[in-house]
Amino acid sequence: MLKKVRRPVNHQGKVENQPMSKLDAEKKRQLVKIQSSHDIEVHPYKITGNDLTVWSDKKEKYVYVSKAVKIKAIKRNIETKEIQIELIFWAYDKWESITISRGELTKRELKKQASKGLDVLEDFQAGEVSSFLSKQEKTLKPTNVHSGIGWDIVNGQLVYKHYKIITSPSTPSIDSTYSGDFNLKPNGDSYDFLGLILKEVRGHTPLELMLCISISALIIGMLNRTRKGNFDSLLVHIVGTSTIGKTTAAMMGVSLVGSPIPKEGLLQSYHGTKNAMAKTIVNNYGALIVFDESTMNLMDSQNQSAFIYEMSHNSDKSRLDKDSELKETQTWSTTIVSTGESSILGKANNNEGLRVRLFEFSIDNWTRDAEHSDTLKNELYKNYGHVAPKIAEKMLELGPEEIANMVESNKEYIQKLLPNSKFRDRIATKFSLMITPIELIKMTFNIELSEEKILEMLIEQELKSMTEREMAPKFHSQLKQYLIRYKRHFKHGTQEVIGHQEIWGKIETSSNETRCFILTVMFDKIVKELGYSDTKILINELKKMGVVLHEKNKNQKRKSVFSKSEMKQREETLGQAGYAEKGDYTYCITYEGNIFEDIV
């Protein structure tokens, strides 16, 4: 029987390198030489080794022009139509490579590259080099590149610009590669990435929410570009102390689109000037971008909120460039996440505009624990950039019209769940942009997220972040929960209070309205308990909302809460003996519909 010979096998299943024979080594050397050689002939020019020569009929031989220089690639930007030339040249002791605009191939402009080491100091050199490059150029085909990100109309068709360009299956494909500041090239394996989502993201609401936030960028970009909707960029500010997984969550969000590695683009840190940071979002129509503040690098909160506010507007119009000329308007339309130690809304009391554009989250833990965070980071460094192109494909298949419908119908549904305020409509829109991604994820990857829990989290965060000015709607909705919870302390219609509960008021329900008469002493108590300081201001605001039933020129309303036989209870609650013929003073707060209907 033959004995099996075990060979050392590496993890890719390849046989470990055997010592190279002398012959092999020589072959390899030659191969490397050929690959790295820049020799080329474009009559009458020739590059041999490090020199550029030209054929002389007179001398019947090639004569020296300059050190070698040639075109490595021609790139045509499909957005600006600009042609960029990548040159490679021998500078003293090494090959250098630079990218110039095609217009700079002229003799005069080429001379400027002498400062980079291009051998064109003499007039005749520049002339010959320019003529050679012009000839060589004709032998090459340009490759398409794009530098913008997200949705765009190219050759009349809607496309999503990622590392490659995603087109609708029904339109011709466009071959172009991203050439810009961000690393969008998909890395690792898309199944590994989806596996990570299933294992570490699904079931953990804050991260599910972050998934949705990331995909909202595609929706906003698409609807804006196709003029199906006019949304400002969505801003999400994540507030919280250190080591709660803020950065991890943000990395997860950007990894749907591209590299989450700091300095590779989509995950920006708060440093540099405001203008430099703003530049990073110009021409972004549908890729999440994050401005991450680390404890090491705190931006003062005034500056941070000013920056965020500017970002929320979809363009940078009024700037002058350094020659005091009006710059071309720069635009964007996407979702922007920022992280920080302090609240932006808290300091922006009078800024209603910010209020509806900015979504602030203070969630205790974005990741379950340190280990969860570390597992995610490790995997995200290896696998990224797979999800956004797939979602874009699905969105193209559905078309902008259908996407707009989805957003609209989710908005209508959400509106019914929100407390009544003048912002309800706009907040519902904002929520809808974050809920609609759930459907897209389901359609594209058949991964199901918990809509119910995400919505609950959104509403909870919204209430938390409401500013003083909006305390009335917040209070109104908190009071509703309170009344439902302490229902037993209220008389309902003619029904007596069961047992020996304290009586706090009376509730009258019909199918379209609930009237809650709350004895003034109790109302004051509830106001304090819910964390508000001033009943009077609150009632005034509630009146403006139209949810207070009151007597003329008064805030209160008299109501017979206690019957003659309940004088003892009345004394317990109000501290007053006797029976009030005309009823006791209450604040009467109303709600649409029967608030107890869903509760048994």
Ligand X SMILES: Nc1ncnc2c1ncn2[C@@H]1O[C@H](COP(=O)(O)OP(=O)(O)OP(=O)(O)O)[C@@H](O)[C@H]1O
- 269 lines the binding site for Mg ion (CB under 5 A): no
Nearest-approach distance from CB 375 to ligand X, in angstroms = 10
Closest among 456, 450, 426 to 438, alpha carbons compared: 450
Number of residues in contact with Mg ion under rule CB under 5 A = 3
Nearer to ligand X, 165 or 251 (CB): 251
* DSSP code at position 83: E
Least CB distance to Mg ion at residue 297 (A): 10
| Binding to Mg ion, residues 55-84 (CB under 5 A) | none
Q: How far is the CB of 272 from ligand X (least distance, A)?
A: 18
What's the min distance (Å) between Cβ of 443 and Mg ion? 32
214 is a contact residue toward Mg ion (CB under 5 A): no
Owner of token pair 């609609």: 436
Is residue 156 classed exposed, middle or buried when 0-12, 13-18 and 19+ CB atoms within 10 A define those classes? exposed
How far is the C-alpha of 510 from the C-alpha of 594, rounded, in Å?
Answer: 6
Q: Which does 242 bind (CB under 5 to 8 A by kind): ligand X, Mg ion, none?
A: ligand X
Distance CA 53, CA 119 (A): 13
* Shorter beta-carbon distance to Mg ion: residue 294 or 343: 294
Segment (H or E) for 518: strand 513-519
Q: Does 167 engage in binding with Mg ion (CB under 5 A)?
A: no
Q: How far is the CB of 246 from Mg ion (least distance, A)?
A: 5
Q: Which stretch binds Mg ion (CB under 5 A): 14-22, 243-251, 254-262, 477-485?
A: 243-251
Per CB under 5 A, the segment of 80-88, 128-136, 246-254, 423-431 that binds Mg ion is: 246-254
Can you tell me the distance from the alpha carbon of 76 to that of 174, in angstroms, rounded to the nearest whole number?
13
Q: At 554, is the secondary structure helix, strand, or coil? A: coil
Residue whose CB is less far from ligand X, 295 or 324: 295
Residue with Cβ nearer ligand X (367 or 429): 367
Of 367 and 556, the one with the shorter C-beta distance to ligand X is: 367
Nearest approach in angstroms of CB 250 to ligand X is 8
In degrees rounded to 5, what are phi and psi of residue 324? Answer: 60, 25
* Phi, psi dihedrals of residue 574, rounded to the nearest 5°: -95, -15
Looking at residue 172, its amino acid is P
**Restricting to residues 551-580, which ones interact with Mg ion according to CB under 5 A?**
none
Q: Write the DSSP string, 360-387.
A: EE--S-SSSSHHHHHHHHHHHHHSBS-H
| Rounded Cα distance, 562 and 581, in Å | 10
107 vs 377 by CB, closer to ligand X: 377
Residue 588 neighbours by CB under 8 Å, 6+ apart: 515, 516, 517, 518, 548, 549, 550, 556, 557, 559
Q: Which does 455 bind (CB under 5 to 8 A by kind): ligand X, Mg ion, none?
A: none
Q: Of the two residues 196 and 267, which places its CB atom closer to Mg ion in the complex?
A: 267
Q: Tell me which stretch binds Mg ion (CB under 5 A): 127-135, 240-248, 542-550, 579-587.
A: 240-248
Which residues from 280-299 bind Mg ion, rule CB under 5 A? 294
Cβ atoms 369, 324 nearer than 8 A: no
β-bridge mates for residue 101, sequence order: 84
Q: Pairing mode, if any, of strands 513-519 and 584-592?
A: antiparallel
Q: Which residue, 325 or 371, is less far from ligand X as judged by CB?
A: 371
DSSP calls for 186-238: -BS-HHHHHHHIIIIITT-HHHHHHHHHHHHHHHHHHHHHTTS--PPPEEEEE
How near is the Cβ of 318 to ligand X at its closest, in Å? Answer: 34
- In the complex, the smallest distance separating the C-beta of residue 166 from ligand X, rounded to whole angstroms, is 30
Supply the minimum distance, in Å, between the C-beta of residue 294 and Mg ion: 5
369: partner contacted, choices Mg ion, ligand X, none (Cβ within 5-8 A by kind): ligand X
What order do you get walking across the sheet with 358-361 strand by strand?
A: 267-269, 289-292, 335-340, 234-239, 358-361
Q: Which does residue 367 touch among ligand X, Mg ion, none (CB within 5 to 8 A, set by kind)? A: ligand X
8 A C-beta contact, residue 163 and residue 390? no
Chain residue at closest Cβ approach to Mg ion: 247
Q: How far is the CB of 292 from ligand X (least distance, A)?
A: 7
Residue 143 interacting entry, from Mg ion, ligand X, none, C-beta within 5 to 8 Å by type: none
367 binds Mg ion (CB under 5 A): no
Binder of residue 338, out of ligand X, Mg ion, none (CB less than 5 to 8 A by kind)? none
Binding site for ligand X (CB under 6 A): 242-248, 294-295, 365, 367, 369-370, 373-374
SS3 (DSSP) at 77: strand
Give the span between the Cα atoms of 262 and 269, in whole angstroms.
Answer: 8
Q: Tell the smallest beta-carbon distance from residue 380 to ligand X (Å).
A: 11
Using rule CB under 5 A, residue 268 touches Mg ion? no
Cβ-based nearer residue to ligand X, 140 or 298 = 298
Rank residues 228 and 246 by Cβ distance to Mg ion and give the closer one: 246
- The distance of closest approach from Cβ of residue 431 to ligand X in the complex, given in angstroms and rounded to an integer, is 24
Indicate which of ligand X, Mg ion, none lies near residue 134 (CB less than 5 to 8 Å, by partner kind): none
Omega prior to 44 cis, within 30 of 0: yes
247 is a contact residue toward Mg ion (CB under 5 A): yes
Pick what 314 binds: Mg ion, ligand X, none; C-beta below 5 to 8 Å, kind-dependent. none
Closest approach, Cβ 204 to ligand X, in A, equals 10
> CB under 5 to 8 A by kind: which of Mg ion, ligand X, none does 373 bind?
ligand X
Return the bridge partners of 42, or none. 45
The three-class DSSP label of residue 65 is strand
Q: Is residue 338 part of the contact set for Mg ion (CB under 5 A)?
A: no
Q: Which listed option, ligand X, Mg ion, none, makes contact with residue 370 (CB within 5 to 8 Å by class)?
A: ligand X
476 binds, among ligand X, Mg ion, none (CB under 5 to 8 A by kind): none
**Closer to ligand X by Cβ: residue 242 or 315:** 242
CB hemisphere CA count around 225 (13 angstroms): 29
Give me the least distance between CB of 339 and ligand X, in Å please. 6
Residue 373 vs 432, nearer CB to Mg ion: 373
Phi-psi group of 531: left, alpha or beta (phi > 0 → left; psi -120 to 50 → alpha; rest → beta): left
Cβ atoms of 231 and 151 closer than 8 Å: no
Query: How far apart, in whole angstroms, are the C-alpha atoms of residue 153 and residue 91?
Result: 42
List residues binding Mg ion (CB under 5 A): 246-247, 294
